[in-house]
Amino acid sequence: MSMPPEKDMRAAIASRDKASDGRFFYGVITTGVFCRPSCAARPARPENLRFFPGVEPAIVAGYRPCKRCQPTVGKPGVARLVEIARYIESHADEPLTLAKLASQAGLSPSRFQRIFKEAFSVSPKVYQDAIRMRQFKQSLKEGSSVTDAIFSSGYGSISRIYGEATRNIGMTPKVYRAGGAGETIAYAGLDTALGPMVMAATEKGVCFVQFGEHKESLFAKLQKEFPKAEFTASPAQFTPELDAWVDALDKHISNGAARPDLPLDLRGTAFQVKVWRFLLSVREGDVLSYGELAAQIEKPKAVRAVASACAANRIGVLVPCHRVLRGDGGLGGYRWGLDRKRALLDAERARGTQL
């Protein structure tokens, strides 16, 4: 499935173009809802939009159908599967058998399993496990004790969640729950050739580089990423190098200097960190597809998971997820907009021809 260029999609959303319905769908990260281009809902900020070629990828990414424009209407099979998926979400803490879910869908267990996996790329059980893990992480963020979060999310044993959580969030539940508590994070903002940028660092290294329309909104995102940390504007006692790091990255982005090799504080799931670490080995001027990246990390069937890991990267440019393209050579997605992705690739290509 292919989508129109990003600028065309944004124009279609702004004009609520009904002719674009079905060509793509867009999600709003602040509401967790996805819509048709013609949706009459209040416009979202441009930096909060995410684009999807179809209903299923939007749902897999965790977005709910908009109740106003009803993007699943007219797709009866998908609409029914969405209902089942929503049932799984609201009952994720309960034992859900394949037979029970199939009965609700009016299908045999084997057929239900097959079409659910075709639509969402995962089995009903894996989908439930993912929802359960999401609820567990949310409970930790909201301040629940580790034990309370374990049992309220439907996990029946403490030992099981410790193994599963460490595998899925890249750290122990206790560390995840801390949300940056006890840490001091220095930050600095700058206007670059790619627009406003905010960089932040812990004593271990850079933990955040993001681009947007306003530095204020970027700082708000930083606070959301590390809700319990203390923040200090650079220069900071714990990261006196930050001003120099910001300047070095700006020279790379705006003036074509070499990409600075800075210490990084990578935080994510074990799988995400594996993807990001591999991206650090991709040379400037080189590109690869999501499928090639999945194969390189010995997870050839995890193409969508690789794409999600790239989208979750919070350290733009320094972790060069912009070098990953679709299998057909198209740009694919980019957390900070396809115009920025295109500009980065064009600049790297131009520097390569000058060597």
CATH number at residue 123: 1.10.10.60
**Number of structural domains the chain divides into:** 4
Are both 219 and 292 inside the same structural domain?
no
Report if residue 264 sits inside a domain. Answer: no
Q: Which of 151-155, 276-280, 300-304 has the lowest mean pLDDT?
A: 151-155
Report if residue 1 sits inside a domain. Answer: no
Those residues whose C-beta lies under 8 Å from the C-beta of residue 77, and which sit 6 or more positions away, are 115, 119
Residue 320's closest CA among 281, 291, 353?
Answer: 281
Q: Is the pLDDT of residue 65 over 80?
A: yes
CATH number at residue 291: 1.10.10.10
Q: Give the Cα separation of 149 and 33 in Å (integer).
A: 25
Q: At residue 163, what are phi and psi to the nearest 5 degrees?
A: -70, -45
Are both 88 and 135 inside the same structural domain?
yes
The residue-averaged pLDDT of 212-228 equals 88
Angle ∠(346,46,226) on CA atoms, nearest 5: 90
Average predicted confidence (pLDDT) for the chain:
79
> Does residue 146 contact residue 174 with C-beta atoms inside 8 Å?
yes
Q: Is the pLDDT of residue 354 over 60?
A: no
Are both 238 and 204 inside the same structural domain?
yes
Residue 339's closest CA among 248, 212, 219, 220?
Answer: 212
DSSP assignment string, 276-310: HHHHTTSPTT--EEHHHHHHHTT-TT-HHHHHHHH
The pLDDT of residue 121:
59
Report if residue 260 sits inside a domain. Answer: no
Report if residue 41 sits inside a domain. Answer: yes
Helices (H), the chain: 6-15, 55-60, 76-90, 98-105, 109-120, 124-141, 146-152, 158-169, 173-178, 215-225, 242-255, 270-279, 290-296, 303-312, 338-354
Report if residue 294 sits inside a domain. Answer: yes
Return the axis-axis angle of helices 76-90 and 109-120, rounded to nearest 10°. Answer: 90
Are both 81 and 67 inside the same structural domain?
no
Are both 169 and 244 inside the same structural domain?
no
Structure tokens at 328: 């057909």
**More reliable by pLDDT, 320 or 157:** 320
Q: Give the Cα separation of 319 and 186 in Å (integer).
A: 19
Of the three residues 73, 104, 123, the one that is the final residue of a domain is: 73
Q: Which domain holds residue 246?
A: 184-255
Are both 35 and 103 inside the same structural domain?
no
The residue-averaged pLDDT of 18-38 equals 90
Q: Is the pLDDT of residue 27 over 80?
A: yes
> Does residue 199 contact residue 246 with C-beta atoms inside 8 Å?
yes
When pLDDT is cut at 50, 70 and 90, the band that residue 199 belongs to is: very high
The residue-averaged pLDDT of 98-104 equals 89
Structure tokens at 333: 């997605």
Q: Give the Cα separation of 131 and 86 in Å (integer).
A: 10
Of the listed 39, 66, 207, 321, which one is catalytic?
A: 321
The pLDDT of residue 323:
95
Are both 250 and 192 inside the same structural domain?
yes
Q: Annotated catalytic, 35? A: yes
Report if residue 263 sits inside a domain. Answer: no
pLDDT tens, 119-168?
A: 665 688 877 777 776 666 665 555 445 455 444 444 444 444 444 444 44
Are both 173 and 84 inside the same structural domain?
yes
Return the axis-axis angle of helices 158-169 and 270-279, rounded to nearest 10°. Answer: 20
Are both 208 and 171 inside the same structural domain?
no
When pLDDT is cut at 50, 70 and 90, the band that residue 264 belongs to is: confident
Q: Give the Cα separation of 208 and 199 in Å (integer).
A: 5
Report if residue 261 sits inside a domain. Answer: no
> Does residue 115 contact residue 107 with C-beta atoms inside 8 Å?
yes
CATH number at residue 249: 3.30.160.70
Are both 26 and 116 inside the same structural domain?
no
Of the three residues 159, 178, 197, the one that is the final residue of a domain is: 178
Beta strands 230-233 and 184-192, pairing class:
parallel
Of the listed 35, 66, 69, 207, which one is catalytic?
A: 35
Of the three residues 162, 178, 194, the one that is the final residue of a domain is: 178
pLDDT tens, 167-180?
A: 444 444 554 555 55
**More reliable by pLDDT, 157 or 298:** 298
Q: Give the Cα separation of 269 and 312 in Å (integer).
A: 10
CATH number at residue 15: 3.40.10.10
Other residues' Cβ atoms within 10 Å of the Cβ of residue 18: 11
Report if residue 265 sits inside a domain. Answer: no
Q: Give the Cα separation of 302 and 39 in Å (integer).
A: 32
Are both 122 and 191 inside the same structural domain?
no
Are both 169 and 89 inside the same structural domain?
yes
